[in-house]
Each structure stands twice: as C-alpha cells, then as structure tokens.
C-alpha cells in the first residue's frame, strides 16, 4: 500500500512496547525511530508538543500520541487479529481495565512502591496489592484478559510480565507470588512466553541498571 508507518520510542519504554506488540500481532511493518528523552529530537517535539514523550505513531505523516489511544487506532485501522471484542459492552469493559492498569496498577507499583522507601512505601504496598487482587479476580476462567487470545488489556498490562520482576529484584521482595496470585502468575508466564511478546523484550540486565539508577535518583531528590 506504500504506507508510511513509524514508531517513535525508547529502548526501555513499556508504553512504547505496547505499540510494538500490537503492530507485530497484526503483522504490520513499520520503521522504528529511537529517541533519547534527555535530548529530545525536533521531530518528537513537533509530533507530540503537548506531552513531549514517547510513544508516537506516525501514519502517513499524521502523528498519534498516548499508547492506549494508539492501540485503538491500530485496531480500527488494521482489522486482522482484533485487540478488542466485537460486543460493545465487552469493548467498554476492556477499555475500563486498560485504563485501570495505567491509573491504578502502574501508579501504585511504580510511583508508590518502587520509587518510595520507609513509611511511604509501606503505605503504598497494600494499595498495590488491592489493585492486583482486582486483576486476579478478572482473570478467573480466562487464559488472557482478552479471553483465549492476547487483547487490549493484556497489552496494557504487559509491562508487568517483565518489568515487575526487575522492580522486585531491585527492591528485594515480591509483590506477586504463586500463593496470593496464582492466576496472575500463570498469566505472566503465558504472556511473556508468547513468541511476539518474548521476541521484543528489552534486556533485563539493562533494565535493572536503568531502573536502579532511576530509583536512586528519585530517592535522592525526595531527600534533598
């Protein structure tokens, strides 16, 4: 079709990974443009002047921003291997849980638990566990959040299958274990080992180094 399709991303962004996974699942070819967020390119600032961050999907010269918005655009533009169910109610439910993954799960685990210590971290852990319990309940009777196949919610939560292990390694304790979250543990294994997903994970060692530095810098700023 001669379409121009570019993904502006960083090597480590879990939000950009969602876009990569979606395009791979649909068999869509694209060009990757890697960004250095400490020295953002003029194109990134042009295409995402509001948030100035990745991911950005450039389709035939027209930019789209925000990963969940991009996922829905991809799903509506390329119909093969749908990410959302056909039923309007189920589509709405999938959107709800995808937003929950960003607004609650990611916020409490990353900003609440990972980037805090002491009393603040202790207070954040029960909130993170409560959110994870909602996910555990939602997985009952299903292989993936989308049913038998990977869907929108799985992609929205996909970072958990790799990045949470990185956070746990750095912190020295587990949030997600077999005893308390058997369905979530099984989902993590199923999702992480799916070929399209597995083939696109960033290096774990590099992620550990990056996020260890991120945590140390954040804690230093909080103390200053």
Give the rounded percent of residues in the chain with a pLDDT score beyond 90: 97
- Label residue 3 by pLDDT band (50, 70, 90): confident
Q: Helix (H, G, I), strand (E, B), or coil: what is residue 24?
A: helix
Q: What is the pLDDT of residue 2?
A: 64
DSSP line for 101-150: IIIIIIIIIIIIIIT--HHHHHHHHHHHHHHHHHHHHHTTT-SBTTBSS-
CA distance 18 to 20: 5
- Label residue 42 by pLDDT band (50, 70, 90): very high
Residue range 132-149: mean pLDDT, rounded? 96
CA distance 195 to 153: 18
Which tens digits make up the pLDDT trace of 18-37?
A: 999 999 999 999 999 999 99
Top-level class of domain 5-77: alpha beta
Residue range 75-101: mean pLDDT, rounded? 97
Which tens digits make up the pLDDT trace of 154-181?
A: 999 999 999 999 999 999 999 999 999 9
Look up the CATH architecture of domain 88-223: Up-down Bundle (1.20)
CA distance 13 to 5: 19
Domain ranges (residues) in the chain: 5-77, 88-223
Fold identical between 5-77 and 88-223? no
Say what the pTM is. 0.96
Q: What is the pLDDT of residue 1?
A: 46
């Amino acid at each position: 079709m001669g379409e121009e399709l570019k993904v502006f991303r960083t090597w480590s962004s879990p939000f950009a990974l969602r876009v990569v996974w979606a395009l791979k699942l649909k068999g869509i070819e694209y060009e990757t443009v890697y960004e250095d967020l400490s020295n953002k390119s003029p194109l990134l600032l042009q295409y995402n002047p509001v948030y100035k961050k990745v991911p950005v999907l450039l389709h035939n010269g027209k930019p789209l921003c925000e990963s969940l918005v991009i996922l829905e655009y991809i799903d509506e533009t390329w119909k093969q291997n749908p990410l959302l169910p056909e039923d309007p109610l189920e589509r709405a439910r999938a959107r709800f849980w995808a937003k929950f993954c960003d607004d609650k799960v990611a916020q409490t685990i990353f900003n609440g638990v990972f980037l805090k210590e002491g009393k603040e971290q202790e207070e954040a852990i029960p909130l993170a566990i409560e959110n994870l319990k909602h996910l555990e309940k939602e997985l009952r009777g299903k292989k993936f959040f989308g049913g038998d196949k990977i869907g929108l919610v799985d992609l929205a939560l996909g970072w958990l299958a790799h990045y949470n292990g990185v956070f746990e390694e750095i912190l020295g304790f587990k949030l997600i274990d077999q005893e308390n979250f058997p369905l979530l543990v099984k989902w993590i294994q199923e999702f992480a080992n799916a070929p399209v997903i597995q083939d696109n994970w960033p290096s774990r060692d590099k992620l550990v180094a990056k996020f260890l530095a991120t945590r140390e810098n954040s804690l230093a700023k909080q103390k200053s």
